[in-house]
Structure 1
Amino acid sequence: MRDLHKPGRSEVLATEGMCATSHPLAAKTALDILEQGGNAMDAAIAGAVLLGICEPQMTGLGGDCFVLYNRAGENTVRALNGSGRAATDADAGALRDRGLSSVPLTSPDAVTIPGAVEAFCRLAQSEGRLGLEAILRPAIHYAEIGVPVAPRVAFDWQNSAATLQGAARDHYLRDGKPLQTGQIFRAPGQAEVLRRVARHGHDAFYNGEIAEDMLAVLSELGGTHTVQDFAAVQSDEASPVRGDYAGVDLYEHPPNGQGATAILLLNILKHFDLAALDPLGAERVHIEAEATKLAYDARNRFIADPDHSSRMAHFLAPETAASLAALIDPKRAMPAAAPLTESVHKDTVYITVVDRDRMAVSLIYSIYHGFGSGIASEKFGILLQNRGAGFNLEPGHPNELAGGKRPMHTIIPGLLRENGRITMPFGVMGGAYQPTGHARLVSNLTDFKMEMQQAIDTPRAFADGGVLKMERGYSDPIKQQLSDMGHIIEVLETPLGGAQAIRICDTGILIGASDPRKDGCALGY
């Protein structure tokens, strides 16, 4: 139990249903949907779409999603890949010929076809109860009347506003300036898009005027995207990948997401007695940092569109983790492995919902960088993601940019199962940090027996591109000790990620926890 004399937040307890996410309006909306007779999938989609209005710098209709879930009465973990593909004519060679070594973040080359809307429509039909009109009604309402900008959203808006270009500046700036805390953000164009999707399903988004609006701005900027690229979008069912740690099974979405990296990281950490260390001490931070360098180097070599890579068995094999763990010196930092494909980005939203029938949904939804590519359609104001920046331009690499291919994604939903029973859907936002965040949360819960909220609240560190990035919660002596081990320390201005989780207890109780690094909360009834 937390020290009630100190600032903090308690876990939330309920019995009928619960949502944990990064904005209170989305959490309340999810509960409203449950109380109207919807299930966890209805509620998760309704909350996620609304997050695109509450946190437009993080996500929106021009983005992608991944989902893990179970059906009521079963403990089978299912996965849906709602990520889009590169334009058919995308060509890494053409970018190399321009002298580029990476995909430009704010160019049409970085824009992959949005996959989330198709996934939401598919899941609403196959798994939901209420139908799209009821599910999308709250987001349409708030897109019309507006949402007051929350403090963390305003912070991110200021930091990412320079990305906005062309029509995006008209839709997402006020008199040319970022919106401030308490100002009202409205998106009437998106309200109209959602009305059409509610009536006509995904065809309304991927064919006709809405798709043409997106294509027009991409074509104007030199993009090669076509009507056929949008019409061909389809989400795919997938088989989750699984690892075990300290008696807990961790389920992750398979590639092209990076979730398997969290499993590899935990497989490496199994070779060290973390439970014997101080959970906030330098020794634990060091071992996690070294394991992260190795796991992410492997990620950059192998994780890609699954149609172009077949090394998951090797990636997750115990002997692979054992050989990597043997490279770690518990007292000294190794040089950084190959640079990451991308730097840390925190521009993602995550929502988890559990209903009275114990259907659990773990859903993550993003436009990648802050405000994505910075490119928005003129009429409807749909911000387009820059997920194509997750590709590389290395000839022959499994994750090389190519037409019709899905890029390596940073966003990963998580789910825990214990003794054959689903016990915790969770997510840790934060771009490249996410596998490290998943591994640390699992370790906090198992090695150090922390309560869920405490496990989320504790300070974070991340070995990224030769630098050990640390939150302010670590003391100066700890940072000095790590520096003496050979780490280059950077204290971050922006915190690392944001976690949400719901524990499904065998007593019938639901326990929710939500990261104070975000504006959101856990709510139950």
Structure 2
Amino acid sequence: MGRLRGALGAMGKAILAGVVMIGWGDDLAAGPDKSGGGDRVVGAAFATRAPVLGMNGIAATSHPLASQIAIDVLKAGGNAVDAAIAANAALGLMEPTGNGIGGDLFAIVWDPETERLYGLNGSGRAPLGQSLDDLKAKLDGDDIPDWGSLSVSVPGTVDGWYTLHDRFGRQPMADNLAPAIRYAEAGFPVTQLIGYYLTRSAEAFRTLHAQGIVEEIDNYKATYEPDGRPLGHGDVFRNPDLARTLRLIAEGGRDAFYDGPIADTIDAYMKRIGGPLRKRDLVDHTSTWVEPVSVNYRGYDVWELPPNGQGIAALQMLTILEGYDLAAMGFGSADYLHVSTEAKKLAFADRARFYADPDFYDVPLARLLSEDYAAERRATIAMDRASTEVDPGDPKLMEGDTIYLTVADKDGMMVSLIQSNYRGMGSGLVPDGLGFMLQDRGALFSLDPDHPNVYAPGKRPFHTIIPAFITKDGAPWLSFGLMGGAMQPQGHAQIVVNLVDFGMNVQEAGDAARYNHAGSTQPFAGPGPMTDGGTLRIETGIAQEVRMDLEARGHDVEYTKGPFGGYQAIWRDPETGVYWGATEMRKDGIVVAY
């Protein structure tokens, strides 16, 4: 395990090949990188910092205040589930561009008492009173709009909190929600990245409202533009409406949201703007405990949640990639990026065809994750050329913007939690006086009546947000996630490969240059099948000669700033029990431990 603490051993030369970065450790032979950055004394030169260590508790989130809140909860006697809920509630206030109580939640929990993983699907369903024909009759085109009332599905987050808490929580939910309520009332400074996204969202929602897609934006402006302009970096943001809403939840429990005053307000608001969601949909909502699924990758069991999410795409990628000697190829090499991209295309072709709500469709999980199926798919990859069109496989069907956080406590409980409003901050719709935006996850349904993910009343849409976990020899090893739409399965696979094949430590694995292939066929209404091979986006840490090699094989490659997702992770040293935490350098968060 020592190699995962930053040492590379024999891997060093292979990893340096094809990577435009100052070398690892003391190797400065590459000369100045002209980036204007400083030099690290030890560890990978590209790493932003060393992992954060702790033994009593640790929290990695995308906002510094949320990480501190989680630690405060642990110190006050709460456990990792309490701390995760408290941090998530704060993030809904502090990062409204990505999440909030108008969205959905998924989680994986390692319980030290039973020594097993538990999975929670906290995603909401489509309105019961709207049929597929009803929906199509309202559409101005062939797609479900990404914003506005037709994209809204039932918010699952609050029920997800209480379902997690009922099973694992230690301190009262009112105590878990108290920090977010205090910050909502007193205010907090907006971070750099969130200020940027709020400005972008303001411009987008004005345009969408003018186009008639978002029915009203007065509530949005009253909540997120209190001074008549978008909040920016360093501005103090107060959200008294959300504070009142969270107090109602703290006092009345989940029923205050789903069968009480909050549900009544949402119902009245949707009727006023002509949307389909009703109180009945909220009353009927429940979260679902699900069994996490896994594949073994070179001795490590990598766990994801089953559909309606896309987590198994990461497992499919890893099962295909296990047939290659990635360590010999080297991090950042053309061979590694080529086979990874081709594996992604294959997994995403299946994702577009077979991932859907299991209550409505029998997803062929066992076959999709089997080694012989991976071997069949792997055999279609040619090392000298990129595929332009990829069909889904045949798993014998005839027989049948987001936040991620992770917390661990002194008793060994570890929580991997992801929560989201989906695209562009959400639907644009803020119910009267509630202080939060409703999600637009319903845009991810297909309109094809023969597709497993076709819209249906009471059905959960295909979901992008996925928490992850790794165990080794039956013990917890890594709680991690990497949010960001279709980047997530690709990012999960990259993190696993960086740790297992390339010997990086938990922080280096997230700081290393990433790739993001875009353009695969989608499982929802929208763009048609991939016919041109898509686009391979890479960060500038990948060498120009590698880009040229990939282009010679037929890849369309571009350097870009993303989207490359947002990563948080906690690695547990199996020998000492010490937690090693990492957070995303592309965002504003931190790791806090004690």
What's the TM-score, normalizing by structure 1? Answer: 0.95
Q: Does 1:193 align with 2:193?
A: no
Aligned to 1:232: 284
What is the number of residues matched between the two proteins?
518
> What is the SS of the residue equivalent to 2:276?
coil
Over residues 360-410 of structure 1, what are the superposed CA-to-partner deviations in whole Å (9 max), with x where a residue is unaligned?
110001000121111111211220000111111111211001100001110
Aligned to 2:460: 406
> What is the SS of the residue equivalent to 2:70?
helix
Aligned to 2:31: none
* Alpha-carbon distance in 2 for matches of 1:493, 1:499: 15
Of 118, 134, 137, the match for 2:175: 134
> What is the SS of the residue equivalent to 2:507?
helix
> What is the SS of the residue equivalent to 2:296?
strand
Cα distance, 1:52 vs. partner?
A: 0.7
Aligned to 1:501: 569
Aligned to 2:490: 436
* Alpha-carbon distance in 1 for matches of 2:499, 2:338: 19
Aligned to 1:427: 481
Q: Which moved more, 1:60-69 or 1:483-492?
A: 483-492
- Residue 379 of structure 2 aligns with an amino acid whose one-letter code is A
For the aligned residue pairs, the C-alpha RMSD in angstroms reads 1.6
Conserved? CA contact 1:250–1:415, under 8 Å: yes
Q: Which moved more, 1:148-157 or 1:491-500?
A: 491-500
> What is the SS of the residue equivalent to 2:428?
coil
Counterparts of residues 81-100 of structure 1 (less than 5 Å): 81-97=121-137, 98=139, 100=141
Of 222, 231, 234, the match for 1:182: 234
* Alpha-carbon distance in 2 for matches of 1:121, 1:473: 42
Q: Does 1:456 align with 2:510?
A: yes
Aligned to 2:53: 13
Counterparts of residues 507-518 of structure 1 (less than 5 Å): 507-518=576-587
Aligned to 2:202: 161
Of 365, 368, 374, the match for 1:315: 368
Cα distance, 1:107 vs. partner?
A: 2.1
- Residue 362 of structure 1 aligns with an amino acid whose one-letter code is S
Conserved? CA contact 2:537–2:562, under 8 Å: no
Q: Does 1:144 align with 2:185?
A: yes
- Residue 151 of structure 1 aligns with an amino acid whose one-letter code is Q
Over residues 270-327 of structure 1, what are the superposed CA-to-partner deviations in whole Å (9 max), with x where a residue is unaligned?
1221111120112211111111111011011111101122221222122221111111
Aligned to 1:384: 438
Cα distance, 1:99 vs. partner?
A: 5.5
Cα distance, 1:123 vs. partner?
A: 1.6
Aligned to 1:342: none
Of 94, 106, 113, the match for 2:154: 113
Of 361, 382, 386, the match for 2:415: 361
In structure 1, stretches of 5+ residues that fail to align are 340-346
Conserved? CA contact 1:53–1:147, under 8 Å: no
What's the TM-score, normalizing by structure 2? Answer: 0.85
Cα distance, 1:151 vs. partner?
A: 0.9
Aligned to 2:271: 219
Q: Which moved more, 1:377-386 or 1:481-490?
A: 481-490
Cα distance 1:397–1:209, how it changes in 2: closer, same or farther (>3 A)?
same
* Alpha-carbon distance in 2 for matches of 1:331, 1:462: 20
- Residue 139 of structure 1 aligns with an amino acid whose one-letter code is A
> What is the SS of the residue equivalent to 1:472?
coil
> What is the SS of the residue equivalent to 1:365?
strand
> What is the SS of the residue equivalent to 1:291?
helix
Cα distance 1:337–1:176, how it changes in 2: closer, same or farther (>3 A)?
farther
Which runs of 4 or more aligned residues in structure 1 lie more than 4 Å from their structure 2 counterparts after TM superposition? none
Aligned to 1:282: 334
Aligned to 1:480: 548
- Residue 423 of structure 1 aligns with an amino acid whose one-letter code is W
- Residue 369 of structure 2 aligns with an amino acid whose one-letter code is L
Cα distance, 1:521 vs. partner?
A: 1.2
Q: Does 1:36 align with 2:76?
A: yes
Q: Which moved more, 1:160-169 or 1:272-281?
A: 160-169
Conserved? CA contact 1:166–1:375, under 8 Å: no
> What is the SS of the residue equivalent to 2:111?
coil
Aligned to 2:32: none
* Alpha-carbon distance in 1 for matches of 2:73, 2:227: 36
* Alpha-carbon distance in 2 for matches of 1:439, 1:235: 27
- Residue 474 of structure 2 aligns with an amino acid whose one-letter code is G
* Alpha-carbon distance in 1 for matches of 2:383, 2:89: 45
- Residue 478 of structure 1 aligns with an amino acid whose one-letter code is V
- Residue 130 of structure 1 aligns with an amino acid whose one-letter code is Q
* Alpha-carbon distance in 2 for matches of 1:201, 1:161: 32
Conserved? CA contact 1:41–1:361, under 8 Å: yes
- Residue 513 of structure 1 aligns with an amino acid whose one-letter code is A
* Alpha-carbon distance in 2 for matches of 1:472, 1:176: 38
- Residue 378 of structure 2 aligns with an amino acid whose one-letter code is A
* Alpha-carbon distance in 2 for matches of 1:324, 1:106: 36
Cα distance, 1:176 vs. partner?
A: 4.1
> What is the SS of the residue equivalent to 2:469?
strand
> What is the SS of the residue equivalent to 2:477?
strand
Conserved? CA contact 2:516–2:563, under 8 Å: no
Aligned-pair identity in percent equals: 42
Cα distance, 1:501 vs. partner?
A: 0.6
Q: Does 1:332 align with 2:372?
A: no
Q: Does 1:77 align with 2:77?
A: no
Cα distance, 1:427 vs. partner?
A: 0.5
Conserved? CA contact 1:290–1:463, under 8 Å: no
Aligned to 2:320: 268
Cα distance, 1:336 vs. partner?
A: 4.4
Cα distance, 1:105 vs. partner?
A: 0.9
Cα distance 1:411–1:118, how it changes in 2: closer, same or farther (>3 A)?
same
